[in-house]
Structure 1
Amino acid sequence: MWTLVMYVGQVLKDLLKLPRPLSPPVVKLERRVDAEYGLPSTHAMAATAIAFTVLYSAPARIQFEFEVGLVMAVTFSSLVCLSRIYTGMHSVLDVICGVFISSTILLFTYPYWDTIDHYQLTSALSPAFGIGVPLLLSYTYPALDHYSTTRGDTTTILGAWAGCCVGYWFNVQTGETFEPKDPLPVPLPAVTASGLALGTTRFVLGVLALVGTRQLMKSASLRVLYWFYEVQKSDVNARRRKEIEVPYKFVTYTSVGLVNSILVNRAFMCMGLL
């Protein structure tokens, strides 16, 4: 759902081409995305999609008070939305439209979540679909008359989804899905010092594995692409070229998704951290 709403939001930005709030009167606290358009707010879309997808998916897996989860989802998504206004990156209209679009996507896709999940994990065509569709979407992303980070960011998201999609399919085919041994839904575990230490260790090792994968694959893919297109390493703008930006980001983050979904959990098993 994160990938879907982000792709829709990024494409809408570059099709509608509505500017971000003017500065002044707004004081912008972020400058990296000045070249991007404003409507809709993809942060608002992502926060809404993530919070409420988890809220509506979790009861089948974890026992918790739905009302408490609803308060947490509303709080999280609201804080993200308000932060985009506070930092001067979006107007109130941008945020409202983002929440509305994301909510609409959730509403219309919710009845099919289980079907999509089953197809992704069991179909023999899932790997081809999982790699081919996001790669096609990355290359056919709407072109602008100036460079913007939206194409690269969208390719990053699509690549991460592609890697995870194939990785989770591979886990099911090999019979290792890392599911709880107890029947679902399982009760929430008690918060203990040992549990926190175990979770922190997994988090730190996981981050190191993913960051290391990112750096390795980014360096290797750029080296190959620079050689293939006969680009000098000193050319600082070469990474902005579509024929370089799309494949290097897609390969890099597909690899990150694969490591996240396949190798990291298996490493945790070998280390006794699961």
Structure 2
Amino acid sequence: MSSAARDEDVAAQLRKFSPSPSRDPDAGLRALTHYERRLPRWRYHLRQWLIPMVRWETPYLAKMQRSCRSPFLDSYFAFTANLGTHTFFMAFLPLCFWCGYPDLGLALVHMLALGVYISGYVKDLVCLPRPLSPPLQRITMSGSTALEYGFPSTHTTNAVSAALYFVFQLYLSKDDLSSTSYTLLCLGCYCYAVSITLGRVYCGMHGIFDVVIGAVLGAFLTWLWVAYGSIYAMWLVSSDWTRPAIAVVALGFAVRFHPEPADNCPCYDDSVSFLGVIMGIAIGSWQRRAISCVPKPSLTATYDFSNEDIIISAARVVGGIVVIFLWRAVAKPTLLKILPPTLRFVDDYGLMIPRRYFLQARDYKQVPQLRRDDNILPAATDIPAMLSSFGTPRRRRVSVGPQSEADAREYLANRDQRRKDARSAPETVRHRTSRLSVAAEHPPSPPYDSSMDDGQSRVASNGSSTSSSSLRVSTVDRNLLTPPLSDAGMSSDSRSDDEKSDREMFSALEKPRVRYDAEVITKLVVYAGIGWLAVEGDPLLFEWLGLT
């Protein structure tokens, strides 16, 4: 297939999956019934039971944000949010195995993977939106985070589970530390968790409800690993190959039975990636124990790497990272090339991966070159830009208005609900409700000079670069600031204007790219390989090269 033909094929698929009003009658027209039609009845009622909390806290969050905003806090919380991302932990965790701390690595990677999977599972299960913007302004350095649902906060889950586990380890080593060191280290762990948690609220990315449940989930995962983690690790490595096989099969079922979201949410992709890592670690840790023939079923004794020589330690880190990137650079395009015909073959026997927002192999000939398709581990070519952004922490985006389909539908649902309330309320209450609603939809100017970005450009929601001299609000966003509150006596022209504005709002959203069923298996295999390389492949290479 020629390049032009391939581009046309991809464009046709994008049109198929875009929220086009001509294909999807609920785009801007049936906001209140969208989730009722897309979700099973019990999930829809669960969502209806939970969503009043999200809507109730939004004006209070907006008031808090307006009272606290400052240039320093904007930059601080936007930058430190990177310390709670999957990318940060994925860059850090392999070092635990390569520097002789496998028990720490096993604990953190399992807590992180469980946190990503469970929080993503709940997000796709209940489909709760993020707090509405406006009135909130969203401050972020990541363009993909806002595409996910809001409840619960994965950043908070990751940060709390990691912080509490480090506090537990400090408690075990309390006798080896001075009281001052112990107190300061514990305080640092708590400050890290609190900073990430408060930052998600300050930046308008989550509500109190999201971060509280995220923190509870993180604390639960820490308790779970402290209580049963060592038992699971010993069970996994102390017998024959059937135990890691059982773990891999169980993880495969977790991939298959992840709930379908009502909107095109990328939570599933992250869950698949981390479950793949756990598959690779299960195989690699069992293999490491079997090959080493250590008398006790412990991994610690099999990683006898010394960190006394800084050069050798650095060589292990650099070499291990290079091997991981080489593996992904080779395995990913190879799998995306050979999997589509394989999936078409097994599809004839009823074996497939039916996902609502994934194109099936029978509907495409080949997977085109994919760019920026991984939220976990960046491409090697993206690393210089990432390092540059870390070097300029004040470079962040401030956005107002819906950023995802879920945001847009929540805006429409709020508007329709206010109209319904206004029609049923007495005249005096209706007037007061109208006035308060208009005030809530008009965020005041930021309480600081808009030149806070030091003249640097910030990335708009569609990926383009815009001047930082003023807060950018699109035409559609301005329409969002002053929605009509009652449709009583509305003319047909007013209704037509509403529908036109709604369609413009959906068309202005960043369109999610086409995703292919072959990507699911590709992510599993690639990330299983990364997990295996971290715990077994790279350590074997280090021993062969004498980098121990």
Superposition TM-score, scaled by structure 1 size = 0.83
Aligned-partner SS, 2:133: coil
CA–CA separation in structure 2 for the residues paired with 1:149 and 1:59: 38
Is 1:27–2:161 an aligned residue pair? no
The offset of 1:163, in angstroms, is 0.2
1:68/1:7 Cα in 2 relative to 1: closer, same or farther (>3 Å)?
A: same
Amino acid aligned to 2:533: V
Select 1:122's aligned residue among 215, 222, 238: 238
- Checking the alignment, whether the CA contact within 8 Å between 1:239 and 1:245 is kept in structure 2 is no
- Checking the alignment, whether the CA contact within 8 Å between 2:292 and 2:302 is kept in structure 1 is no
Amino acid aligned to 1:154: S
- Checking the alignment, whether the CA contact within 8 Å between 1:135 and 1:250 is kept in structure 2 is no
- Percent of aligned pairs sharing the same letter: 23
- Checking the alignment, whether the CA contact within 8 Å between 1:11 and 1:142 is kept in structure 2 is yes
CA–CA separation in structure 2 for the residues paired with 1:14 and 1:121: 33
Corresponding residue for 2:154? 42
CA offsets 1:134-180 (integer angstroms, 9 cap, x no match) = 11111111012332211111000000111011101110011175637
Mark the structure with the bigger radius of gyration.
Answer: 2
1:214/1:130 Cα in 2 relative to 1: closer, same or farther (>3 Å)?
A: farther
CA–CA separation in structure 1 for the residues paired with 2:236 and 2:162: 19
Corresponding residue for 2:219? 103
The offset of 1:108, in angstroms, is 4.6
CA–CA separation in structure 2 for the residues paired with 1:224 and 1:131: 22
Is 1:143–2:250 an aligned residue pair? no
1:142/1:64 Cα in 2 relative to 1: closer, same or farther (>3 Å)?
A: farther
1:93/1:238 Cα in 2 relative to 1: closer, same or farther (>3 Å)?
A: closer
Select 2:365's aligned residue among 225, 231, 237: 231
Corresponding residue for 1:251? 525
CA offsets 1:54-110 (integer angstroms, 9 cap, x no match) = 443577799853545423322332233234334432223312221112212333553
Select 1:155's aligned residue among 257, 260, 272: 272
Q: Please list, as runs of the form range in 1=range in 2, the aligned pairs for 1:1-274 lying within 5 A after superposition.
A: 1-24=111-134, 25-29=136-140, 30-57=142-169, 64-65=176-177, 66-124=182-240, 125-175=242-292, 177=299, 179=301, 194-195=309-310, 197-228=311-342, 229=361, 231-234=365-368, 240-241=515-516, 243-274=517-548
CA–CA separation in structure 1 for the residues paired with 2:148 and 2:303: 46
Corresponding residue for 1:185? none
- Checking the alignment, whether the CA contact within 8 Å between 1:33 and 1:149 is kept in structure 2 is no
- Checking the alignment, whether the CA contact within 8 Å between 2:127 and 2:262 is kept in structure 1 is no
CA–CA separation in structure 1 for the residues paired with 2:146 and 2:539: 38
Aligned-partner SS, 1:233: coil
Q: Which moves more between the two structures, 137-146 or 122-131?
A: 122-131
Number of aligned positions between the proteins = 264
CA–CA separation in structure 2 for the residues paired with 1:61 and 1:212: 38
Aligned-partner SS, 2:301: coil
- Checking the alignment, whether the CA contact within 8 Å between 2:124 and 2:259 is kept in structure 1 is yes
The offset of 1:246, in angstroms, is 1.7
CA–CA separation in structure 2 for the residues paired with 1:146 and 1:133: 27
CA–CA separation in structure 1 for the residues paired with 2:184 and 2:113: 26
- Checking the alignment, whether the CA contact within 8 Å between 2:127 and 2:149 is kept in structure 1 is yes
Aligned-partner SS, 1:34: helix
1:36/1:238 Cα in 2 relative to 1: closer, same or farther (>3 Å)?
A: closer
CA RMSD of aligned residues (A): 3.0
Amino acid aligned to 2:321: V
1:151/1:63 Cα in 2 relative to 1: closer, same or farther (>3 Å)?
A: farther
CA–CA separation in structure 1 for the residues paired with 2:174 and 2:540: 23
CA–CA separation in structure 2 for the residues paired with 1:117 and 1:199: 26
CA–CA separation in structure 2 for the residues paired with 1:255 and 1:64: 37
The offset of 1:16, in angstroms, is 2.2
CA–CA separation in structure 1 for the residues paired with 2:120 and 2:243: 25
Q: Which moves more between the two structures, 162-171 or 33-42?
A: 33-42
Q: Which moves more between the two structures, 101-110 or 209-218?
A: 101-110
CA–CA separation in structure 1 for the residues paired with 2:112 and 2:148: 20
1:238/1:60 Cα in 2 relative to 1: closer, same or farther (>3 Å)?
A: same
CA–CA separation in structure 1 for the residues paired with 2:151 and 2:158: 14
The offset of 1:10, in angstroms, is 1.0
CA–CA separation in structure 1 for the residues paired with 2:546 and 2:335: 33
- Checking the alignment, whether the CA contact within 8 Å between 2:289 and 2:302 is kept in structure 1 is no
1:26/1:75 Cα in 2 relative to 1: closer, same or farther (>3 Å)?
A: same
Unaligned runs of 5+ in 2: 1-110, 294-298, 343-360, 371-511
1:15/1:179 Cα in 2 relative to 1: closer, same or farther (>3 Å)?
A: same
- Checking the alignment, whether the CA contact within 8 Å between 1:41 and 1:98 is kept in structure 2 is yes
Unaligned runs of 5+ in 1: 183-187
The offset of 1:131, in angstroms, is 1.4
- Checking the alignment, whether the CA contact within 8 Å between 2:124 and 2:265 is kept in structure 1 is no
Amino acid aligned to 2:128: L
Aligned-partner SS, 1:179: helix
Amino acid aligned to 1:47: A
The offset of 1:239, in angstroms, is 6.1
